[in-house]
């Protein structure tokens, strides 16, 4: 309906009318088992179902592949090679899995012919799909030998592989048309008749797709008792932000990257502050947006999906000895060097513009502005380079921790680029005081240097005096 008035009109016209079933259409559908995991589908499912980041998934999978100590077995590998885009499975593994399914669930859960899955056109088929080495190594058997995350990931891989070799799930579908006055309403129901592969594995689905319900037994011309009529307003939603999982899926679909590069590529986005995470969603930062604008302005010809996929294919051809790498690199550099020259001649910068504050510089009287350096944000004089005065950011988190023993100004806690805490005078230009421990403000009675707090101990910063 276009508006509230149209909805009210319909409600008025069906008020007091009989709701009669005018048509029931029944049918059957089948749902085929999903293929065993590739690198990308494993990463997507681990995030969607287990909430594991790409980095954590890759780390856990590597440990399962390299081998773990299993009680009574020694150190053994639990899964096959984890960097693959192939869905191929060896015949021996397939037969062993089918036998295991027949024993555990019954022969009707084993398809008449083995399930074989098509591998995408540009896949590198050197390795099998990701699967357990042995079906006898059940998740329950190795649970006590694995960390929590390794167990959860192994269970997911094990169940996905077992499901890939199982029978289809069968459903009965019902489409019902209900008439009330001059209006028709439709609803759909579905009942599972045979679990098939869903006995061990349920595919991840978005909430928007979960709108099929189970209906009671209905007959045509049956008059339904109306308990309540609810109206609901729905809005068209903008496209959802990428998550790590959906971004991997998009990269794979567009031919960007390879199994070994998905996690590394996406980890860089947050590691370099190009984006942050809001729940699972990846949200671009101001730096990320600026870089996108910069690349779009100067490198649009090469920073795009088509060119990236094209270069991936050229590199594959080099690996397969179908092309010569010198000619590939030369053809790329011939055009790329001009793009670099054009970019280098521009004054465009990706640094954020300084934000003026109400804080007045105590050396020249100009306003202080917020700048950003390798140790984070700080206040710098807007009269730079004539005035080099800097101050720490005034915030509740950055309160002075002591008085500088050299000049008497405030000492603040700061961090190195490696995250280690140190203490320095606020006058970073005029005073060089720095200490790994907090100064107490008192002098050593033995040598006259300043005392510091080291844990619960007070000691001299220069000699062996301990208070």
Known catalytic residues are 81
Strand 376-381, strand 438-443: pairing:
unpaired
Q: CA distances (Å), 343 to each of 159, 293, 304, 349, in order?
A: 51, 12, 17, 10
C-alpha 382/C-alpha 385 separation (Å) is: 8
316: CB partners within 8 A, 6+ apart: 122, 124
C-alpha 397/C-alpha 200 separation (Å) is: 50
The 8-class DSSP code of residue 354 comes to P
Q: CA distances (Å), 402 to each of 34, 44, 250, 424, in order?
A: 62, 49, 52, 10
Q: In what order do the strands lie in the sheet with 19-31?
A: 183-194, 169-180, 19-31, 223-224
Which of helix, strand or coil describes residue 18?
A: coil
C-alpha 122/C-alpha 320 separation (Å) is: 12
Expressed in angstroms, the distance from the first to the final Cα of the chain is 80
Nearest one of 186, 204, 238 to 34, comparing CA atoms: 204
Q: For the chain, give percent helix, strand, coil, nearest 5.
A: 35, 25, 45
> Which residues partner with 25 through β-bridges?
175
């Amino acid at each position: 309906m276009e508006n509230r008035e149209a909805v009210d009109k319909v409600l008025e016209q069906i008020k007091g009318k009989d709701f009669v079933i005018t048509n029931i259409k029944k049918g059957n559908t089948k749902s085929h088992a999903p293929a065993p995991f590739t690198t990308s589908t494993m990463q997507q499912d681990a995030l969607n179902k287990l909430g594991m980041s790409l980095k954590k998934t890759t780390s856990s999978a590597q440990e399962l592949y390299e081998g773990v100590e299993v009680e009574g077995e020694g150190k053994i590998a639990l899964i096959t090679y984890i960097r693959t885009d192939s869905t191929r499975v060896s015949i021996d593994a397939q037969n062993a899995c089918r036998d295991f399914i027949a024993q555990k669930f019954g022969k009707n859960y084993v398809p008449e012919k083995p399930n074989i899955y098509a591998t995408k056109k540009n896949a590198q088929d050197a390795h099998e799909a990701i699967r357990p080495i042995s079906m006898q190594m059940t998740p329950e058997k190795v649970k006590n030998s694995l960390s929590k995350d390794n167990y959860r990931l192994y269970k997911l891989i094990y169940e996905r592989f077992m499901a890939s070799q199982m029978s289809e799930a069968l459903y009965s579908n019902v489409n019902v048309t209900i008439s009330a006055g001059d209006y028709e309403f439709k609803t759909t129901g579905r009942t599972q008749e045979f679990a098939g592969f869903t006995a061990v594995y349920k595919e991840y689905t978005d909430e928007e797709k979960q709108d099929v319900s189970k209906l009671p037994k209905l007959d045509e011309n049956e008059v339904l008792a109306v308990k309540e009529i609810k109206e609901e307003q729905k809005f068209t939603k903008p496209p959802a932000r990428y998550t790590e999982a959906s971004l991997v899926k998009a990269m794979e679909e567009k031919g960007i990257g390879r199994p070994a590069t998905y996690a590394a590529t996406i980890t860089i986005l947050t590691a370099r502050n190009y984006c942050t995470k809001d729940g699972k969603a990846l949200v671009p930062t101001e730096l990320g947006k600026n870089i996108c604008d910069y690349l779009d302005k100067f490198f649009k010809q090469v920073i795009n999906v088509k060119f990236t996929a094209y270069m991936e294919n050229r590199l594959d051809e080099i690996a397969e000895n179908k092309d010569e790498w010198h000619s590939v690199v030369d053809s790329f550099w011939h055009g790329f060097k001009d793009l670099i020259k054009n970019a280098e001649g521009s004054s465009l910068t990706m640094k954020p513009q300084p934000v003026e504050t109400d804080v007045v510089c105590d050396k020249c009287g100009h306003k202080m502005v917020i700048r950003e350096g390798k140790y984070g944000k700080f206040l710098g004089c807007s009269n730079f380079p004539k005035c080099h005065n800097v101050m720490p950011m005034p915030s509740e988190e950055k309160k002075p921790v002591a008085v500088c023993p050299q000049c008497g100004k405030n000492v603040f806690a700061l961090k190195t680029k490696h995250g280690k805490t140190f203490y320095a005078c606020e006058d970073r230009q005029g005073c060089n005081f720095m200490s790994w421990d907090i100064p107490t403000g008192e002098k050593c009675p033995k040598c006259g240097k300043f005392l510091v707090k080291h844990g619960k101990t007070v000691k001299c910063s220069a000699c062996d005096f301990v208070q």
